Structure 1
């Protein structure tokens, strides 16, 4: 007799249902939405989704469901997205095919029904096609959603593979049009501290269009309603109390207990959750129990044909067994002909109850059935599932080629994290597999200059696989794993006499050592170069020389490194390796800028960036956009740097490159800090921290946050971030100026804030003695300025006087060696000299006037405010109170807007001593300046508001995000004390804040 365990009455979940309804309405208005539903196993996520899908269908939405499967952890990428696309294809047929016209071959990687996949490109460019795949998936959904709402559900995100998460993240960020709502579910009790879903969820929490819901357990009253729905009558209070106590409000356990309560006393069910879950299975007929056990080992879902082949029983008997399991609410039948457990907890309990030998035997039967009839499962799933079955069957001879084949499939789908997992499994199986199986494997395909094996010698074929694992680790962002594999490869190479392959691995090791902060990688590069000595030019030569140029750009920016970069470009072009040539040009362009030839460097870098975008060369993009953005900022061109960063961050998300996202967000934080947009700088630094995977990127995020904390006077936060900097890139300190000098700068500023001038001097002396090439002055000038400001602040302090003259002389001598090729560096030079003269007691108004004039030409409001305050102090000493008052008012307004409390405090003390009213002065100075307290960026936004632009149009025109535009508009309304955009525009025209010509041109 069929047990009725699911309540026909949907209980509770009012706020969650309302949130889903709101998301559906927003999607219907053309604003794509996403809702993430979390909760412990059994709490009712699936039932909520089913109820929502029914309502969405009734409202005219097109619905589709996909679920992540546990086999995804073993390398089945994009499985739930592929299932959703199949469901859409079944419902739409030719409409979907027409929507994919022109790129069906590329989308066939996810939806084979569209035809044969496009030809595979070489591995060095596969990551580029991955970005294309993401973009086309978004385009397809947007096209299908023009005339109806798409309500798409991805269940069990806790089992998702990394590629699925990255594709979903891309869709959440990139869907701009179309009526799309994506709902996902995940088991929150499975999300431990190191679970890969945790940082993914943290990133999504920052997105305006993503809403996260957490389902709580049922209350006692809700349990009463659920039990009443199942039993058809209100339960007795003693039974309700028993069910509520044992279930603890978990909806699934309530169902189990309620359906078994009749005829069972209090001791009729074990207190063990596992036993509770198995009770219903053990009540099935013997054949049905056997089918359920076999289905449990098959994974989260099993096709009917596969289940029939594995069970080996007659069709009628199998159907009766399945009917019993479905009737008992253990299995459920899906429309696509697959069977899955109604709840994953039941499958886990049944699978755990299998004996080890039983599990191995069932896995073998699954593998043999798939080998005999590949059509039993979808073609795109077969390699990964076959690899999983043979692996669990403990048959290395069969498992190794199956796992390698699945890894190749994952690579072709650009699912590098899953490829890496599969290749690791292949390495585990390698020694156990027969020699003839190992020798038949070929892995690498001309990837990144690796010299392919050209014979059947076993060690060399194994090295090919290690090279593939190395590249997969690099693309997946797993430097630790990459370094481990390289060490193994170098041990295998010892005594084999294959210098080109050894040089390739040493070059990769240099890269990983730098990224992990375990050295500067020069020793490894030196070994690679020595191995190549005497050999004719080859792609490996070009690769090694390009890495040497990259090293020079970071650690020794100067003429010698520029010459290496020039030679690397020539050699890469000579051997016909465009990727390597472009990478070498990135280093050359950066070195041109750092050696004073800025325009030539920018032209070179922009040309590379344009080529990278046009050809989707992701392997070069990871450097081209990061470097050009950073170097524009170093030249003082912060607005350009920020605009370029907006393009870079879009591409980084499109390609799913997390560590690259961290670099670009960090560089955005630098530009935003310089422009005086500190709140946005903090948000960008937070994004950089969330995306950072390597020690170096985590250290750089701490560096940006430490700078903000010091500027705001939050010493506790500054100390914590400086400590993190030291922990993450300790190996860089004393080696690369771009890491060592900001670290020293923040330590000096922190010590100065605590009045520890002797520590300031010691830290600077250590940095100077390290003898680092200053390269781009943006890393070194701020450190020198921090030391000069510390001495300036300590003037007249008894403890500082001994040795102050020597300290000032040392700072001045070191500053004289620094480049001043660009206006921002020259301005820093004037500021440092003025601070040093203040420390000596010899500074005058002219020194500060020159520094102010220099910074007035630059988008550096914080430094300008500081110089204006110093100039005001000198003017007061000369008796010029009127000019001093105006300068102090301007400086105080900027300090207040930035939240620069230490600077604001200094200005307030100076004004108090001089008896100057800052509030009145602020208004007068602002009016005289014509700004009314608005920053240059806010005046640009106001001009566009006055021209009638929307926030989105403002964002597009100024290369900022709509959210940032909204923040600017809110700030403008507050500063002008108006209630709306129209009033702000009218006031701007009336008071002349925005000229008519400017608004018209906008």
Structure 2
């Protein structure tokens, strides 16, 4: 049998690579400890990457690993999406059966995989571009995690320099999210092909920044290793002169060593590497060479039946021709029915030898035969294979037709980048085919519309804008107003993504184009209403959304009804009507459950987590968020919507003063690569924690990343108020109260911020603090700001305990505010209110009252690591001469053991540097301890601290 033939020019001995094998083995060992690892294995073409990972895989399999193989092919760059992952999943189907693979996924999850392999039945009905592809990624991640619960998994993805855009995205996604599962992913690529504009370069750069990614560069063989390779091939020790010549000519590349050995070693060295590689082919019989040229046109791997059909040879004649190629190690047999070139360089060299006419004829034959019988190629590949071959055959008509079909196939697999590339091919060929519209059944404008949709889905905003502009130029709004309206809405979305003006103008224009009470109008109004509400225009946004809701109900469109109810709930939330918000979200959730829309169910839960937190029921919000995250995993939507719910949970944790938990959750979600808007939301939570803890550097980096210093302010209310809040916080941290005052004055000129209760009360509370901080520095300006803040607060509704607590603080009833914050379980805001109450008591001469409030607040601030607030309390305590802790009367010390050690040395007159040397800590740490000691003892100097220490017998 052909499969039993053994090559004679490959060394049976694995030469060198001990260090690289050790690195791979170490990475696998780390992965087995439930810490997933990605290895980037780079090297020149022919340097032995495949041989290395093959040897490693054999050893790992013997050690209990489950090895999955996936390889990229050149065809991937033309639109063959997810090729390596399809291959790996198909291997699993062969091993476990389709039902066995489906059993590893959440209920219904296999329907997402059906978009890659028909073995899993009909695909899911979810076609929303913003969630469907993420669901597919989620299912593949889950599949690897569940598989790894049985045995450690090694996923080998070769030749990622040929990977399609979707595969590159999926590789990056898995590398970011496979954290705890025992999975090792090994990616090989040709380092010599990565030119500056190669699309893999940014992916490698991104992966290189991750902690669990290892880079291995495979070098050429040394002279001794070449000698060992030659000895393995020859079965005896080669002569010194022969080794020297082959090492010099091959430059240590194993593939070239093998080819040179095929040439005879001592003589006849080809003049170029191409000639060297093709030389082993040219020594084969002419019929074998012809078959190899046919195979090369088919790609690096081609099936027996397809090769027979294209070559026109009988099975016997084909076997005879192939037998010689396999014996010469030009071809290898894979899976018993496919043939693949031993190395891609050999296939490339043979393909390059095709004459122009031969090139056209062979690719046309492949297209014809696959079109006649699509089972000649693996399931799911026929459309793109046909498109590739017709395009390579330079047949413009069939290249256009097949590219259109392949684009539809890419869309069903959520391979939007590949879809866009294929549609661009259709657009390029269009002018060459007079009856192109009749041939594919759609007009030129429709192709542009689909291209714009694909561009939007894969984030190609600039290209998408060009497609929309071109499509609009071809349409008459009087003849097709609904079609124009849809494109204008798309244009508005592109403008919003590019932060360009004119978004609202476009949406209003689209609304005028569809005046009738049809679903086209409802869709436009849905987008317009949402934009208006998020921009702060609540009254109009609500009216527009309610009109759309009436239309949706009249047409029985329950999914759209749920979307619009959720939009209405957002408007009521911004307006401070949180009870109505919660009720609307629950109604939308019930509809989502009834129609099977996980997207609407999760969006409703996310919105109610936010509403509960804003109403002061933060603990309840956290419990609901955890339930929502559980459902998101069940729906396979965790990294789409579950992360958003988790973001709202992080906000609730921050509100409750659980800063470490909030920051940890934020980091966890950021590692999953969320959408840009979600990322900015998460980073702003980092910023809020940084304000409380005095981390000015972190806060500045957050503001830089989210555009908080941008000349053009943020359009959306939530983002705008958060940016303002963080800006003022940074000024206060950096000791710039007048700069904070200037920022606060700008805020009051932005009426949208101070007129919406849900967003406004927190800002007004912050502005009240700025007034108090600057009333001695700039009394007139602070007074004017206070008056504006008072007017704004009087105009806002108070229908929640949170709003009431902020109102009490603005009214300077700080004791009542502190009590309100205590009832709400918000310790940081309670401590801050107590500080202001203590400050007021001290100003009124009530020293004992100030002491009581500060002594209650200070331990809270310290426990939260809220250093700026604790420092202000320490300063006030020193000024009025009080302790921040009760005087010890029972032998207990207010100081920690380490602080007592520092105090003992301070009382002996030691400097910070001397204390540091004696206690083996840094001088900076000593300084922090001294500052804490002064604050706790209510003194301002080291001498006073020593006196208090002796008086209270704090030290022996």
TM-score relative to the length of structure 1: 0.74
| Match of residue 79 from structure 1 | 83
Alpha-carbon distance between aligned partners in 1 of 2:197 and 2:831, rounded to the nearest angstrom: 44
Q: Is the 1:517–1:729 Cα contact (8 Å) retained in structure 2?
A: no
Q: Which sits farther off after the overlay, 553-562 or 772-781?
A: 772-781
Q: Deviations over 1:869-912 (max 9, x none)?
A: 33344445566666655654664555455444433433343344
> Residue 704 and residue 63 in structure 1: after superposition, are their counterparts in 2 closer, same or farther (change >3 A)?
closer
Any conservation in 2 of the 1:636–1:823 contact (CA below 8 Å)?
Answer: yes
Show the 5 A alignment for 1:31-430. Answer: 35-41=38-44, 45-59=49-63, 63-92=67-96, 96=100, 108-113=114-119, 117-118=121-122, 121=125, 124=127, 153-161=156-164, 164=167, 181=183, 183-187=185-189, 189=191, 195=199, 211-218=212-219, 224-225=224-225, 227-232=227-232, 262-263=265-266, 294-311=294-311, 319=319, 322-323=322-323, 326=326, 329-335=329-335, 337-344=337-344, 347=347, 360=360, 362-430=362-430
Asked if residue 869 in structure 1 is aligned to residue 824 in structure 2, the reply is: no
Residue in structure 2 matching 1:910, options 854, 871, 876: 876
- 1:16 corresponds to which residue? 23
Cα shift at 1:377: 0.8
The farther-off stretch of 313-322 and 385-394 is: 313-322
Give the distance between the partners of 1:317 and 1:666, measured in 2 at CA.
65
Cα contact 2:41–2:218 (8 A) shared by 1? no
* Superposition deviation, residue 498 in structure 1: 0.8
- In 2, the alpha carbon distance for the partners of 1:925 and 1:555 equals 60
Q: CA deviation at 1:516?
A: 3.4
Q: Indicate whether 1:794 and 2:774 are aligned.
A: yes
**What's 2:440 paired with?**
441
Q: CA 1:816–1:286 in structure 2 vs 1: closer, same or farther (change >3 Å)?
A: farther
Aligned CA RMSD, in angstroms, stands at: 4.9
Q: Does 1:524 align with 2:506?
A: yes
Displacement of 1:644:
4.5
| Distance of 2:817 and 2:790 partners within structure 1 | 16
Question: 1:44, 1:252 within 8 Å by CA — same for their partners in 2?
Answer: yes
Give yes or no for contact 2:40–2:214 (8 Å, CA) kept in 1: yes
Alignment of 1:726 with 2:695, yes or no, is no
Alignment length (residue pairs): 878
CA distance in 2 between partners of 1:401 and 1:578 (Å): 37
Residue in structure 1 matched with residue 567 of structure 2 by the alignment: 587
Contact 1:517 1:728 in 2 (8 A): no
Alignment of 1:788-937 (within 5 A): 788-797=768-777, 800-801=778-779, 803-834=781-812, 847-877=813-843, 888=854, 891-914=857-880
Matching residue of 1:960:
none
What is the CA-CA distance between 1:801 and the residue it aligns to?
4.4
**1:512 and 2:494 aligned:** yes
Once the two structures are TM-superposed, the CA of residue 499 in structure 1 deviates from its matched residue by 0.9
Q: Which moved more, 1:577-586 or 1:515-524?
A: 515-524
Report how far residue 541 of structure 1 moved: 1.6
Q: Is the 8 A contact 1:515 1:694 kept in 2?
A: no
Give the direction of change, closer, same or farther, for the CA distance of 1:182–1:716 in structure 2 (3 Å limit).
closer
Deviations 1:681-731 (A, max 9, x none): 445555666667876556545544444444444444433432343389765
Distance 1:152 1:901, change over 3 A: same
Q: Matches of 1:907 and 1:44 in 2, distance apart?
A: 67
Tell me what 2:9 maps to.
Answer: 3
Task: For structure 1, list consecutive stretches of 5 or more residues without a partner in the other structure.
Answer: 443-457, 835-846, 929-1002
Give the superposition deviation at 1:381.
1.0
Deviation (angstroms), 1:526: 1.0
- 1:483 to 1:6, Cα distance in 2 relative to 1, 3 A: farther
Give the 3 Å change call, closer, same or farther, for CA 149–808 of structure 1 in structure 2. Answer: closer
Provide the C-alpha distance between the structure 2 equivalents of 1:105 and 1:748, rounded to a whole number of angstroms: 50
CA distance in 2: counterparts of 1:717 and 1:290, whole angstroms = 66
1:561 to 532, 541, 553: 541
CA shift for structure 1 position 587: 0.9
CA deviation vs aligned residue, 1:541-572 (integer Å, no higher than 9, x gap): 21122222212321135344333333322211
Q: Is the 8 A contact 1:128 1:618 kept in 2?
A: no
CA distance in 2, matches of 1:393, 1:503: 40
Q: 1:675 to 1:64 in 2, by over 3 A?
A: same
Q: 1:585 Cα deviation (Å)?
A: 0.7
Structure 1 residues 366 and 861, CA gap change in structure 2 (3 angstroms):
farther
Q: CA deviation at 1:584?
A: 0.3
Q: d(CA) in 1 for partners of 2:883 and 2:354?
A: 82
Partner of 1:869, secondary structure, is helix
Q: Is the 8 A contact 1:885 1:921 kept in 2?
A: no
Secondary structure, counterpart of 1:803 in structure 2 = helix
1:749 aligns with 2:729: yes
TM norm structure 2: 0.77
Question: Which structure's CA Rg is the greater one?
Answer: 2
Q: Go from structure 1 to structure 2 and tell me whether the alpha carbon gap of 1:322 and 1:820 turns closer, same or farther (over 3 Å shift).
A: farther
> Does the 8 A contact of 1:777 with 1:819 survive in 2?
yes
The Cα of 1:376 is off from its aligned counterpart by: 1.7
Cα deviation code 1:484-540 (max 9, x no counterpart): 33222221113661112112222333333334332473212211121122x3x2211
C-alpha distance in structure 1 between counterparts of 2:35 and 2:621, whole Å = 30
CA distance in 2, matches of 1:492, 1:630: 44
Q: 1:995 maps to which residue?
A: none
C-alpha deviations, 1:395-448, integer Å up to 9, x for none?
23112221222222233334444434333333333333331x422435xxxxxx
Q: CA deviation at 1:197?
A: 8.6
- Seen in structure 2, the aligned counterparts of structure 1 residues 560 and 359 have a Cα distance that, compared at 3 Å, is same
On the 8 A contact 1:517/1:695 being kept in 2, the answer is no
In the alignment, is residue 498 of structure 1 matched against residue 485 of structure 2? no
User: Counterparts of 1:93 and 1:302 in 2: how far apart (Å)?
Assistant: 24
Could you say which residue in structure 2 is the equivalent of 1:540?
Answer: 520
For residues 733 and 147 of structure 2, the distance between their equivalents in structure 1, rounded to whole angstroms, comes to: 59
Greater Cα offset, 897-906 or 854-863: 897-906
Distance 1:780 1:863 in 2: 16
Corresponding residue SS for 1:771: coil
Aligned residue for 1:857, secondary structure, equals helix
Q: Report which stretch shifted further, 383-392 or 286-295.
A: 286-295
